[in-house]
């Protein structure tokens, strides 16, 4: 092949990488004018240019095979280009249909290949035979399209074919910037102000992994008195969730009332580009040209920083944005996928804040407004040394462990204990911030997220509820046997503290995203199967003893209704009317609007 043909394959690959970079930035609500796009676009262009060269080599080999064994004749260069196009189309279609072949969430390439070979395409199973049939269909489709392209190439004069290629290249380079200009104009539009009913107040406590069954047993035993009091005077019910129940997606549905494809927070992983925001891989409707695996490789090479998904990716407005637009004094603390902190009529502390070194520079993008940063830093710093009595409640510490924790802190603890202590620091720090805010004057909406029960569920629940205690390490069993139950009691006490600081007419939401299930190995608790979470709701007009059938998407519509704000028709959730007294609903009819699309914060 001539050098010009190799350049053509590399250019085609580089253009694909550039366009994938643009799509990633559009999908994550980021500006192409940022330095991050120049950086990621360059990396992707280089990677896919190399892939294009590899594809060119395969095209050369493939054309030789076709000529020798398939007795195919014709222009060699056009034939190689057709084979290249067929390979590209096959890879595109393969990743477009990837969910048919692969049912795991990992982006580890080696494990991916192994599972594809040993699980997805084993012909002796019905699923494997079906997958092989789909694979053959993709090959046939790619070959047919490549043949059509070859016929088109032969029908056009050489000059027109080259002109068409140049036009497509120019369009590929320029169209993303046209889209960017249109998005920038849309960002400048100011939506009309919203209205809420005066005097309404809400305390929202999000408790990750508060399990309906476990909590119910502890409530019946009288071990969670504050949660029990809330349940007695209001609504209490299991909260249906997604399968699988992954926290970023579920908590964003809770916050928006929208389904996962609409709010766009689809998984945990994102990749930072040196700033406060991160890029979530494209996974719907396809893993476009394998971009999640490419980004993972970039992360392993240190070109991008692996981390958690950030708020810029969320397309739908959260309830705190809507409340802020309505002029309500709003405070949001530690919510999943809330970094960087968004400007509010009040205070926002992102989920990244507790994981920083608490310096002014580190908190700059994680706390709004700037005047709140010193208070936040002080409370989070104090929480990094948990009270001795909490540690004694959670763990049966040996004298050596106690001395080590006292001298060196949580980082010196064994892995499971270390993770639990970090979550304890997170929860107690956000609790302290919430109490500080309430002491200064109760906001109309205060939402705080506590993560610890989820960490405890993964790390220590099996030491309490194991199906096979004899299989556990005796020393670990002694250390962690009471950890999960003790953390439930701690959370209950924290709920009591916060409820004691709000006015009696405050609506209190206690919400969890999922519970835990014991399946498979005897000591394996997880929430992949979507075990229900919990909703407790109390306040004026809430029916005591009511048990509404609730889904995580119903929370924001119900919250907006109680604030006296319209519920958007685009929200897939509903108001939990059966939890509210008929006379209350009659006095305050449901208001609605078609959409809240214009109220999402600008990029």
pLDDT number for residue 400 = 80
| β-bridge partners, 593 | 568
pLDDT exceeds cutoff 80 at 177: yes
CATH code for the domain in which residue 218 is found: 3.40.720.10
User: DSSP string spanning 62-83?
Assistant: HHHHHHHHS---S-HHHHHHHH
Radius of gyration for the chain, computed over Cα atoms and rounded to the nearest angstrom? 28
Same domain membership, residue 211 and residue 176: no
| Tens digits of residue pLDDT in 106-139 | 656 677 777 777 777 787 788 888 888 888 998 9
Q: What integer is the mean pLDDT of 511-537?
A: 87
Q: Compare 374 and 407 and report the one with higher pLDDT.
A: 374
How would residue 265 be classed by pLDDT, with cut points 50, 70 and 90? very high
Residue 229 has phi, psi (to 5 degrees) of -65, -40
103 in a structural domain: yes
Does the pLDDT of residue 268 top 90, yes or no?
A: no
Per-residue model confidence (pLDDT) at position 104: 61
For residue 542, the 8-state DSSP code is B
Residue 74: pLDDT band (50, 70, 90) is: low
Query: Three-state SS string across 398-460, please?
Result: CHHHHHHHHHHCHHHCCHHHHHHHHHHHHHHHHHHHHHHHHHHCCCCEEEEEECHHHHHHHHH
Write the secondary structure of 297-341 as one string of H (helix), E (strand) and C (coil): HHHHCCCCEEEECCHHHCCCCCHHHHHHHCCCCEEEECCCCCCCC
How many Å is the maximal CA-CA distance in the chain? 85
Does residue 522 carry a pLDDT above 70?
A: no
Chain Cα centroid distance, residue 39: 24
Confidence (pLDDT) at 248: 94
Share the mean pLDDT of the chain.
90
Asked if residue 241 has pLDDT above 80, the reply is yes
Token code pair at residue 561: 């209704």
Mean pLDDT across the stretch 327-342?
96
- Give me 421's structure tokens: 């202590």
Q: What is the mean pLDDT of residues 289-305?
A: 91
Kindly tell me if the per-residue pLDDT of 542 is higher than 60: yes
Mean pLDDT computed over 27-52: 93
Q: Are residues 181 and 231 in the same domain?
A: no
CB within 8 Å of 267: residues ≥ 6 apart: 105, 246, 248, 249, 280, 281, 283, 309
Tell me: do 415 and 386 sit in the same domain.
Answer: yes
Let me know whether 506 and 588 are in one domain. yes
Distance CA 215, CA 220 (A): 9
- Which residue from 509, 569, 213, 511 is spatially nearest to 336, judged by alpha carbons? 511
Indicate whether 380 and 418 sit together in one domain: yes
Confirm if 546 and 235 have CB atoms less than 8 A apart: yes
User: CB under 8 Å to 269, separation ≥6 — which residues?
Assistant: 107, 280, 281, 292, 306, 308, 309
Residue 183 burial (C-beta neighbours within 10 Å; 0-12, 13-18, 19+) = middle
**Span of 41-55, 177-191, 249-263 with lowest mean pLDDT:** 177-191
Highest mean pLDDT among 186-200, 294-308, 559-573: 559-573
Question: In this predicted structure, which of 235-244, 354-363, 406-415, 447-456 has the lowest mean pLDDT?
Answer: 406-415
For the stretch 357-384, pLDDT in tens is: 999 999 999 999 999 999 999 999 999 9
E-strand stretches of 220-304:
235-240, 269-272, 278-279
Say yes or no to pLDDT of 565 above 90.
yes
Note whether 207 and 98 are same-domain residues.
no
Tokens for 363, please give them. Answer: 């908190």
Burial class (CB in 10 A: 0-12, 13-18, 19+), 378: middle
The H-or-E segment that residue 346 falls in is strand 346-349
Please say whether the beta carbons of 525 and 542 come within 8 A: no
Counting the structural domains of the chain, the total is 2
Among 192-196, 207-211, 228-232, 522-526, the range scoring the smallest mean pLDDT is 522-526
pLDDT classification of 70: cutoffs 50, 70, 90: low
Confidence label for 289 from pLDDT (cuts 50, 70 and 90): confident
Residue 71 pLDDT class (50, 70, 90 cuts): low
Q: Sort 468 into a burial class: Cβ within 10 Å, 0-12 / 13-18 / 19+.
A: exposed
Better-scored residue on pLDDT, 527 or 554: 554
CB-CB contact of 568 with 322 (8 Å): no
Bridge partners, residue 207, by sequence: 450
Q: What is the pLDDT of residue 10?
A: 94
How far is C-alpha 387 from the chain's CA centre?
32
What is the model's pLDDT at position 275?
78
* Residue 72 confidence (pLDDT): 59
> For position 602, what pLDDT does the model report?
67
Q: Residue 321: pLDDT above 70?
A: yes
* 3-class DSSP state of 507: strand
pLDDT at 106: 60
Q: What is the pLDDT of residue 419?
A: 95
Distance CA 516, CA 207 (A): 13
Residue, of 564 and 401, whose pLDDT is higher: 564
The verdict on 183 and 206 lying in the same domain is no
Question: What confidence tier does 529 reach under pLDDT thresholds 50, 70, 90?
Answer: confident
pLDDT of residue 267: 82
Q: Could you say which of 187, 220, 238 is where a domain stops?
A: 187
User: Are the C-beta atoms of 603 and 29 separated by less than 8 Å?
Assistant: yes
pLDDT value at residue 174? 95
Does residue 174 sit in the same domain as residue 210? no
| Residue 378 placed within a domain | yes
Q: Which range, 288-297, 305-314, 425-434, 459-468, is most confident?
A: 425-434
Query: What is the Cα–Cα distance from 109 to 95, expressed in whole angstroms?
Result: 14
Within 70-125, where are the H helices? 76-96, 98-101, 109-115
Q: Choose the final residue of a domain: 187, 216, 236.
A: 187
- Same-domain status, 468 and 325: yes
Alpha carbons 210 and 208: distance in angstroms, whole number? 6
In this structure, of 27-31, 444-448, 573-577, the range with the lowest mean pLDDT score is 27-31
Same domain, 39 and 180: yes
Share of the chain above pLDDT 70, in %: 97
pLDDT attached to residue 589: 96
Determine which helix (DSSP H) or strand (DSSP E) holds 568, and give its type and residue range. strand 567-568
Containing structural domain, residue 122: 3-187
> In the predicted model, what is the mean pLDDT of residues 542-567?
97
Strands 269-272 and 305-308 come out as antiparallel
User: Does 68 score more than 70 pLDDT?
Assistant: yes
> What was the pLDDT predicted at 98?
77
Tokens of 351: 């989920």
Within-domain flag for 274: no
At residue 73 the predicted structure's pLDDT band, cuts being 50, 70 and 90, is: low
How much is the average pLDDT of 459-478?
89
Specify if 232 maps to a domain.
yes
Query: Could you tell me if 121 and 221 lie in one domain?
Result: no
In a domain, 276, yes or no: no
| pLDDT confidence bin for 521, thresholds 50/70/90 | low
Task: Give a yes or no: residue 550 inside a domain.
Answer: no
- pLDDT at 107 (0 to 100): 57
- Residue where the block lists tokens 């202590």: 421
290 assigned to some structural domain:
no
Question: Do 252 and 119 have their domain in common?
Answer: no
Kindly state the average pLDDT of the residues 525-541.
Answer: 92
Using alpha carbons, select from 487, 277, 265, 489 the residue that is nearest to residue 395: 487
User: Strand, coil or helix: what is 266?
Assistant: coil
**Domain-terminating residue out of 139, 161, 187:** 187
**451 is a domain residue:** yes
The predicted-structure confidence for 210-239, as pLDDT tens digits, reads as follows 999 999 999 999 999 999 999 999 999 999
């Amino acid at each position: 092949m001539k050098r010009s043909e190799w350049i053509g394959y590399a250019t085609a690959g580089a253009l694909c990488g550039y366009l994938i970079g643009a799509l990633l930035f559009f999908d994550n609500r980021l500006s192409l004018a940022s330095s991050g796009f120049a950086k990621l676009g360059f990396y992707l262009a280089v990677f896919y240019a190399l892939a294009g060269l590899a594809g060119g080599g395969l095209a050369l080999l493939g054309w030789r095979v076709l000529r020798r064994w398939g007795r195919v004749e014709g222009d060699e260069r056009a034939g190689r280009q057709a084979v290249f196009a067929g390979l590209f189309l096959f890879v595109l279609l393969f990743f477009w249909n990837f969910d048919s072949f692969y049912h795991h969430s990992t982006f580890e390439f080696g494990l991916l290949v192994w599972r594809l070979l040993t699980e997805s395409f084993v012909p002796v199973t019905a699923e494997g035979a079906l997958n092989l049939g789909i694979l053959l269909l993709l090959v046939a489709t790619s070959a047919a399209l490549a043949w059509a392209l070859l016929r088109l190439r032969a029908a056009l004069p050489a000059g027109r074919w080259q002109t068409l290629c140049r036009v497509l290249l120019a369009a590929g380079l320029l169209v993303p910037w046209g889209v960017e200009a249109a998005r920038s104009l849309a960002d400048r539009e100011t939506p009309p102000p919203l209205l809420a009913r005066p005097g309404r107040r809400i305390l929202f406590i999000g408790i990750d992994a508060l399990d309906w069954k476990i909590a119910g047993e502890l409530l019946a035993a009288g071990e969670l008195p504050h949660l029990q009091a809330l349940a007695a005077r209001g609504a209490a019910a299991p909260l249906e969730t997604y399968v699988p129940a992954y926290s970023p997606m579920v908590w964003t549905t809770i916050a928006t009332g929208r389904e996962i494809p609409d709010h766009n927070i689809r998984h945990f992983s994102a990749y930072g580009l040196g700033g406060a925001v991160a890029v979530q891989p494209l996974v719907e409707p396809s893993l476009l040209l394998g971009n999640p695996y490419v980004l993972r490789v970039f992360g392993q090479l240190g070109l991008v920083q692996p981390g958690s998904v950030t708020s810029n990716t969320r397309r739908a407005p959260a309830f705190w944005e809507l409340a802020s637009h309505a002029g309500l004094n709003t405070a949001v603390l530690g919510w999943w996928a809330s970094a960087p902190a968004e400007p509010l009529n009040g205070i926002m502390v992102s989920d990244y804040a507790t994981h920083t070194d608490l310096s002014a520079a580190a908190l700059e993008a994680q706390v709004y407004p700037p005047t709140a940063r010193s208070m936040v830093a002080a409370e989070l710093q104090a929480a990094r040394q948990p009270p001795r009595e909490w540690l004694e409640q959670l763990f049966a510490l040996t004298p050596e462990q106690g001395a080590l924790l006292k001298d060196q802190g949580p980082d010196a603890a064994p892995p499971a204990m270390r993770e639990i202590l970090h979550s304890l620091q997170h929860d107690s720090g956000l609790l302290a911030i919430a109490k500080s805010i309430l002491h200064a004057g109760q906001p109309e909406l205060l939402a705080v997220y506590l993560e610890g029960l989820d960490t405890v569920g993964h790390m220590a629940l099996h030491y309490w509820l194991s199906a096979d205690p004899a299989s556990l390490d005796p020393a670990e069993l002694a250390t962690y046997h009471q950890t999960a139950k003790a953390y439930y009691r701690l959370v209950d006490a924290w709920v009591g503290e916060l409820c004691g600081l709000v006015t009696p007419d405050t609506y209190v939401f206690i919400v969890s995203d999922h519970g835990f299930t014991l399946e498979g190995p005897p000591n394996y608790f997880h929430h992949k199967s979507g075990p229900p979470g919990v909703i407790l709701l109390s306040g004026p007009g809430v029916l005591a003893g009511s048990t509404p059938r609730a889904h995580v998407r119903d929370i924001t519509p119900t919250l907006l209704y109680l604030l006296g704000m319209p519920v958007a028709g685009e929200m897939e959730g509903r108001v939990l009317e059966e939890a509210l007294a008929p006379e209350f609903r009659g006095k305050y009819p449901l208001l609605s609007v078609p959409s809240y699309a214009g109220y999402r914060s600008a990029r």
